[in-house]
Amino acid sequence: EKGGFKHFMLKEIYEQPRAVRDTVQGRISLDTGRVYLDPMNITEGEFRRFDRVMIAACGTSWHAGLAGKYMIEQLARVPVEVDYSSEFRYRNPVLDERTLLIVISQSGETADTIAALREAKERDARVLAICNVQGSMITREADGTILTHAGPEIGVASTKAFTAQMVALYLFALYLGQLRGIISSDEARRHAQQLAELPVKIEHLLSDTDRVEELAKEFFRATDFLYLGRGINFPIALEGALKLKEISYIHAEGYPAGEMKHGPNALIDERLPVVVINTREQGNRASELRYEKTHSNIVEVKAREGIVISVLTEGDEMSSKVSDHVIEIPAASDLLSPILAIIPLQLLAYHIAVRRGCDVDQPRNLAKSVTVE
């Protein structure tokens, strides 16, 4: 059942090329760049008229939602707000019929997220679900669903569902951007091409994991970890930290790289591993700027004796030179590179947890689906 893998989590990490391919499959045309969503009770006219998108989710799905905010705002130019489902519900959210609520859930049974969905429907908002389980409560109650085709996820720590969620959000952002006339057909074709190339890049990443295993060996005794990222890499920092906490029980925190000087710098010493995600897309000005700023953050961590493990784009020299350890990932566009960057961090958490003798697939105190509020 584990297909020769030692744990479900590892098997599911290795299923990501397939999960991504299946989630993209049939939903975007390489010839025209047009996105086709599954049939739903939300019309194109409604999608054009929404003036706001809200996203509600929990845990890893919430991190996908944060990444989705960058995608939707960039590609469709609609303001997006992201909430924990458990917070959304209790803060009397402002929403009406021109608000689209996107709920993201692997299981489709998370009580907090179901409650957020019902709350939004009561206030006349439309609800789109991104969900991995067809027929689950969330898919039955939402006005429409984009199914992630990650396949059943058994390991408690979510991996392939997360990358599939980000792909679904990217497709949705493209869809909305096209409907609203923000994305030209040339651009759309380029996006389609980039999405089609993702699975091969993930395969490439997974074909050589020696570096990550060495790092696990070196750092599995650490008591704390910090994860830093800027822009769309910030949610990846949060997700990298969550993976480590939940399966290895090591205290880990994710922070926006630029926030360090506002407090967390005080934590840095010669024993603290700091994982910095600093990918770059050559020729993309916004990406280059973010890269340079984050590079300065790496230099600052080094100046305070911290141990820097950087996740960088293949061939990057500048940040590589100032880091203690480097994990390289294939080059990709700014908004798609997080789908690659999270994978070595999933593996790092996995190998650290195995070395610590933790029950990777069944971490203490956690359940795969949380059906109580």
Alpha-carbon span 100 to 50, nearest angstrom: 6
d(CA 222, CA 249): 11
- Nearest CB to ligand F6R, comparing residues 267 and 370: 370
* CA–CA gap between residue 243 and residue 361 (Å, rounded): 12
Question: Smaller CB distance to ligand F6R: residue 5 or 189?
Answer: 5
Please give the Cα distance from 72 to 176 (Å, whole number).
8
**Which H helix or E strand runs over 128?**
strand 126-131
Task: For residues 298 and 348, give the distance between their C-alpha atoms in angstroms, rounded to a whole number.
Answer: 20
Say which residue the tokens 């979510």 belong to.
158
Host H or E run for residue 118:
helix 111-122
> DSSP code of 51?
-
Distance CA 56, CA 82 (A): 6
Range in contact with ligand F6R (rule: CB under 6 A) among 54-62, 118-126, 294-302, 331-339: 54-62
Binding mask 58-97 for ligand F6R (x = CB under 6 A): xxxx------------------------------------
Please select the residue that binds ligand F6R; options are 10, 117, 120, 157, rule is CB under 6 A. 157
193 three-state secondary structure: helix
Q: Which of 106, 233, 313, 323 binds ligand F6R (CB under 6 A)?
A: 106
Residue number with the smallest Cβ distance to ligand F6R: 59
Residues 111-150: x where in contact with ligand F6R by CB under 6 A, - otherwise, as a string: --x-------------------------------------
Give, as ranges, the residues between 213 and 272 that touch ligand F6R (CB under 6 A).
Answer: 242, 246
Smallest separation, CB 165 to ligand F6R (Å) = 8
Would you call 151 exposed, middle or buried from its count of C-beta atoms within 10 A (0-12, 13-18, 19+)?
middle
Stretch that binds ligand F6R, among 4-12, 29-37, 104-112, 276-284 (CB under 6 A): 104-112
Active site residue 368: yes
- Interacting residues with ligand F6R between 305 and 324 (CB under 6 A): none
Complex with ligand F6R: residue 106 or 278, whichever CB lies closer: 106
b/e string for 231-250 if b means 16 or more Cβ within 10 A? Answer: bbbbbbbbbbbbbbbbbbeb
Q: How far is the CB of 351 from ligand F6R (least distance, A)?
A: 16
Which of 16, 23, 86, 110 is in the footprint of ligand F6R by CB under 6 A? 110
State which residue, 133 or 192, has the beta carbon closest to ligand F6R: 133
**Is the Cβ–Cβ distance between 96 and 69 less than 8 Å?**
no
With respect to ligand F6R, which residue has the nearer C-beta, 272 or 349? 349
- CA 290-202-77 angle, to 5 degrees, is 45
How many residues bind to ligand F6R according to rule CB under 6 A?
Answer: 16
115, 206, 326, 370: residue in contact with ligand F6R (rule CB under 6 A): 370
Cα distance between residue 263 and residue 242, in whole Å: 20
Q: In the bound complex, what is the minimum distance in angstroms from residue 195's beta carbon to ligand F6R?
A: 22
Annotated catalytic residues are 368
Chain residues that interact with ligand F6R, rule: CB under 6 A: 58-61, 105-107, 110, 113, 156-158, 242, 246, 369-370
